[in-house]
């Protein structure tokens, strides 16, 4: 082979190796700093409420100094991410999110539920079963609607006046888009692929919601309706929304009411009591 060709090939190979070394070296370097940037602490992955920070969960990232806001954790000298922030999370943290000291519980053994409550809100627990909690597919952090199913007691003229609307049972949505804080004593979602049925669900509500739950838990059965991720629509704000009743959902009851109102049922009668006895008078419609 021609000597010049060998020299060219050899030179090309050396250039390729040199370029590879330069690229590899640049990838290992820390973010470039200049007078207009700083380094702040960010999350390397999504982490759930109650999660204890470990090595590799955080990293330093270049950040424009003009976008600095209160609470950001800035790097000092050669400080490692693990040394800058330790503890357990009080809320969900998303990948790439800047970390704040307020993102952590004040104490390692702190009350996760109490620490995660929004200002002015309360944590209220209700009893549940597999059927009432969507077969166990509800987890801490999910949002649900709360449905009340109860018996309606009708007496006297009320039975006649509302017979075309309800006979005995009613179901209605009483609270919408409320957050699940915990199931039994579990305040974090440790296994997304596993359905776990609890006996008690703790829910985040405002003061009025807490009073409502306390009352309706004595009125009938409560069920949870799981909402889709990001779904914040309030159905009960819609003027067309109507609670469900036994008459509305049963064609048989509707037919009975229809026949009763058109005279297809048993004729009504009035009983007159006197000294001579009892006289029954039938009323025709």
Q: What is the mean pLDDT of residues 196-216?
A: 89
* E strands in 128-168: 143-151
HEC letters along 186-230: ECCCCCCCCCCCCCEEEEEECHHHHHHHHHHHHHCEEEEEECCCC
Average pLDDT for the chain = 80
Q: Is residue 227 domain-shared with residue 120, that is, in the same domain?
A: yes
Residue 103's closest CA among 113, 116, 114, 120? 116
Whole-angstrom distance, CA of residue 179 vs CA of residue 105? 19
List the one residue out of 232, 212, 6, 242 whose CA is nearest residue 122. Answer: 212
Angle of CA points 205, 105, 196, to nearest 5°: 55
- 271 alpha-carbon distance from chain centroid: 59
166: Cα separation from own chain's centroid: 32
Report pLDDT digits (tens) over 116-130: 777 788 999 988 887
Same-domain status, 63 and 156: no
Q: What is the pLDDT of residue 11?
A: 62
pLDDT at 192 over 60: no
Contact 271, 279 (CB under 8 A): yes
**Would you state the pLDDT for residue 91?**
80
Do 194 and 231 reside in the same domain of the chain? yes
Determine, yes or no, domain membership for 222: yes
Residue 13, in any domain of the structure: no
- For residue 277, being part of any structural domain is answered with no
SS3 235: helix
Measured distance between the N- and C-terminal CA atoms of the chain, rounded to whole angstroms: 117
- Return d(Cα 243, Cα 247) in angstroms, integer: 11
Q: What predicted TM-score, i.e. pTM, was given to this entire model?
A: 0.55
Q: In this structure, are 243 and 120 located in the same domain?
A: yes
Any domain includes 22: no
Residue 265 lies in a domain: no
Mean pLDDT throughout 236-247? 86
Task: For residues 148 and 240, state if they share a domain.
Answer: yes
Q: Is the pLDDT of residue 28 over 60?
A: no
Asked whether residue 16 is domain-assigned, the answer is no
Q: Do 99 and 122 share a domain, yes or no? A: no
Same domain, 165 and 236: yes
Task: Flag whether 263 is in a domain.
Answer: no
The answer to whether residue 109 scores a pLDDT higher than 80 is no
Tally: H helices and E strands in the chain: 7, 10
- State whether 192 and 239 are in the same domain: yes
**Which has the minimum average pLDDT: 89-98, 239-248, 250-259, 266-275?**
266-275
Which pLDDT score is estimated for 18? 64
* Whether 120 and 172 share a structural domain: yes
If asked whether residues 170 and 210 sit together in one domain, one would say yes
Region 48-63: mean pLDDT is: 89
Considering the chain, what percentage of its residues have pLDDT values greater than 90? 32
Give phi and psi for 201, each to the nearest 5. -120, 130
Tens of pLDDT, residue by residue over 65-108, are 888 888 899 998 889 999 999 888 878 899 999 999 888 876 54
Beta strand pairing status for 277-283 and 268-274?
Answer: antiparallel
Q: Does 256 reside within a domain?
A: no
- The domain of 133 spans 116-249
Q: What is the pLDDT of residue 108?
A: 46
**Per-residue pLDDT tens digits for 141-182:** 889 999 999 998 888 777 778 888 888 899 999 999 999 988
Question: What percent of the chain has a predicted confidence (pLDDT) above 70?
Answer: 75
Angle at 282 between CA 279 and CA 285, to 5 degrees: 160
Lookup: tokens for 160: 């006649």
Residues 95 and 169 in one domain: no
CATH code of the domain in which 54 resides: 3.90.1210
């Amino acid at each position: 082979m021609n000597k010049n060709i060998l020299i060219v090939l050899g030179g090309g190979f050396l250039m390729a190796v040199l370029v590879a070394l330069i690229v590899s070296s640049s990838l290992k370097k820390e973010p470039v700093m200049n007078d207009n940037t700083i380094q702040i602490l960010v999350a390397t992955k999504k982490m759930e409420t109650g999660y204890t920070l470990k090595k590799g969960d955080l990293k330093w990232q270049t950040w424009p100094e003009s976008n600095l806001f209160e609470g950001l954790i800035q790097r000092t000298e050669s400080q490692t991410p693990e040394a800058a922030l330790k503890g357990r999370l009080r809320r969900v943290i998303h990948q790439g999110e800047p970390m704040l000291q307020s993102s952590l519980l004040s104490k390692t053994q702190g009350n996760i539920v109490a620490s995660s409550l929004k200002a002015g809100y309360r944590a209220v627990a209700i009893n549940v079963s597999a059927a009432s909690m969507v077969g166990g597919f509800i987890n801490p952090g999910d949002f649900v609607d709360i449905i009340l199913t109860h018996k309606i007691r009708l007496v006297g003229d009320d039975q006649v006046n509302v017979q075309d609307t309800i006979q005995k049972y009613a179901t209605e949505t009483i609270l919408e888009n409320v957050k699940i804080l915990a199931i039994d004593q579990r305040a974090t979602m440790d296994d997304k692929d596993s359905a776990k049925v609890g006996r008690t669900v703790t829910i985040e509500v405002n003061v009025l919601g807490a009073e409502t739950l306390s009352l309706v838990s004595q009125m009938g059965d409560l069920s949870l309706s799981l909402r889709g991720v990001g779904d914040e629509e309030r159905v009960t704000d819609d003027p067309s929304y109507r609670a469900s009743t036994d008459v509305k959902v049963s064609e048989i009851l509707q037919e009975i009411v229809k026949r009763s109102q058109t005279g297809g049922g048993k004729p009504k009668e009035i009983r007159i009591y006197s000294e001579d006895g009892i006289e029954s008078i039938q009323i025709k419609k």
